[in-house]
Structures are given as structure tokens and as C-alpha cells.
Amino acid sequence: MALTTAPVDMSYAEAAALAVQREMEADPKVVVIGEDVGRGGIFGQYKGLQQRFGDQRVIDTPISEAAIMGAGVGMALAGLRPVVEMRVVDFALCGMDELVNQAAKNRFMFGGQGRVPLVARMPGGIWDASAAQHSQSLEAWFAHMPGLVVVCPSTPQDNHALLRAAMQCGDPVVYIEHKALWGLREPVDETVTIPLGQAARLREGTALTLVSWGKQVHACAEACAALADQGIAIDLIDLRTLWPWDRETVLESCGRTQRLLVVHEAVQAAGFGAEIAATAAEATGCRIARLGAPRIPVGYAAVLEAQSRVGAEAISAAARRLVD
């Protein structure tokens, strides 16, 4: 696709594939490594790239997440800028040592002599009818780990701009696209840049600050629209980057509204929402509530899967309790 300044309608997956294409065109050091990347990836997020750049830059691998991540770390230390495909975050657990003990710590342990400019793509969240081993939201694990950048895009535009920013970052980035957003479409402007660590304010209001990320942002937007009809104006913030997260935007909003609701699809217990809540409480003293999934595995049956979902109705109810 030729570079254009006019927005082009594309899906979340197409926007990501285009981002990788542009970075590969701009920098011969960018390579892709992982299972099924040659045929475009299981979600189409690498569609057409091996045909364009060849199998020495878009590299298919055996089914071994530890080997894939380890190879990616080695490539990065040798001067390449690898995009490491983990298929889904659930499978990435098999490559945790290479990511957590090697990629995340190298810059610190060796006094900055080595850098690991690696992007680990690991789609997260509930995958419809895919059960407990394929539906996890583990972003808090990675945000807890010093040395890692953590990104969770919610829209095609953000997926394009943030993936390019992640590939240009000099440190390891855990890039968590949502498994259920690949078909989401909107106009994408290639010229838009978004720095890592910058949140987006999607709605303005004074009654309540509502913070979320990833697919859950869409449920929050639905809840905000319903609350607006009841005269409750919400300040809705899409965090976009979990580490480093945009404290300035969130705390400014909390200072104005004096109420904060943090919503995430991940299990509520020890979720990243607790970090935001504690920081806001210490800085502003505002009223705070969290809303996340119960601490249960995601069920396969639809009626069980629904118990792990945090929908717009639950978000609206939690917001009304804070405002009352």
C-alpha cells in the first residue's frame, strides 16, 4: 500500500500488518519471527509480509515459544530489531524466562552495554469459546516487571501508531493486542504518531473519571453513552500504555472529578487497576472503585464465559454507585 495522508478504512489486523510493513521498509534491521508468520499469522496480522520481504526477514519457526523468544533476544542483542510473535499471551508463558530474566534485565545488569529492542506480540483477553487456557488477561504480570514496556491498543488507529512506536523503542516491549478486536474497522491515518506512555481522553466530563484499556474501553464507552442520557458526564481515559502509564492525565482528571473508576477485563484481584487506584488515592484522595473479572478461570460454556466478562451494564452500575 502506498503511503497516503488521507485516512484509509482498515481493520485492527490490517493496521498492524501495515505498521510492520512500514517499519520493515524503513529499517532493514526489523525482522519478524514466530509460528505461522509466513502465512500471515493466525489473525492476519502479518498478511503479505513474507511475500514482500522474503523468508529471511519473516521467519517461520518450530512450535517452541522458549526457542522463539530466546532467538528474538539474541537477535536484538546482535543488532536486529525483532518482532517476536507469541500467537497468544497464554502461550507466551512458555517463553517467560527468556523475556523476564534475559530481555528485561540485560540493559540494567550490563550497564547499558547491550539493548534489547524487541517487540513481543502476545494477543490477550477473552477469546470467544476458547476456554481458560486461551482467554487470559495477563498484562499486570508484565507491568510488574522492571525493564519491560507494556502496550494495550484498543483501536485500529492506535494499533498502527503504537506498534510503530513500539518497534522504534530501544527497550523490550510487551505488546498486547486483544484477541477479539482483529476485525474492528475504522479510518486509519498513517501520519498519526502516538508516543508510548500517552493516554487518550475519549470523553470529557466532571462527574467521574473512568480509566480502562484494550477491548474493555469499548464497553466503557457504551456505558458512558448510557450514563450521559441520565445526565452523568464521564471523563473517559484510554490508558493505551500500561507501563509507563500516563499518571499526569489520570491524576489531573481525578483531581477535578474527585471520583475514579478503573475497569479491566483481567481478574480484579491484583490487577493493574490496583496500581492506578493506589496512585490516585495517594495523590488526590478521591473516591475510588475497581471493576474487573472474578478470580475464576474463564469457562468454555457461554454461560460460564459470561461470568468473566465485565459489560457496560456492570460498568454503569459501578459508576452510579460512585456518583451517588
The neighbouring-strand residues paired with 212 are 238
The residue from 134, 160, 178, 264 that is catalytic is 134
User: Rg of the Cα trace of the chain?
Assistant: 19
b/e for 29-45, b at 16 or more Cβ within 10 A? bbbbbbbebbebbbbbb
Please state the rounded mean pLDDT for residues 40-68: 97
- Report the share of the chain in percent with pLDDT over 90: 97
| Whole-number Å distance between alpha carbons of 68 and 82 | 11
Work out the pLDDT band at 144, boundaries 50, 70, 90: very high
Q: Is the pLDDT of residue 2 over 70?
A: no
**pLDDT on residue 61:** 97
Residue 6 pLDDT class (50, 70, 90 cuts): confident
What are the start-end ranges of the H helices in the chain?
Answer: 12-26, 49-53, 65-77, 89-92, 96, 106-109, 139-143, 156-168, 216-228, 247-257, 273-284, 302-305, 312-323
pLDDT interval class at 247 (50, 70, 90): very high
Share of the chain above pLDDT 70, in %: 98
User: In angstroms, rounded to a whole number, what is the distance separating the alpha carbons of residues 172 and 102?
Assistant: 10
Distance CA 16, CA 47 (A): 10
Give CA–CA dist 23/176, Å, rounded: 19
Question: Average pLDDT in the 4-24 region?
Answer: 94
Pairwise CA distance, residues 167 & 260, whole Å: 32
Q: What is the DSSP string of 47-64?
A: TTHHHHH-TTTEEE--S-
Q: What's the mean per-residue pLDDT of the chain? A: 96
For 146, list phi and psi in degrees, rounded to 5: -55, 140
- Give the torsion sign (CA, 238, 272, 147, 95): negative
Q: Mind listing the domains of the chain with CATH numbers? A: 8-188 (3.40.50.970), 200-323 (3.40.50.920)
Provide the whole-model pTM: 0.95
Active site residue 144: no
79-122: per-residue pLDDT in tens? 999 999 999 999 999 999 999 999 999 999 999 998 999 999 99
HSE, CB side, 13 Å, CA atoms: give it for residue 213: 30
Look at residue 324 in the predicted model and tell me its pLDDT. Answer: 87
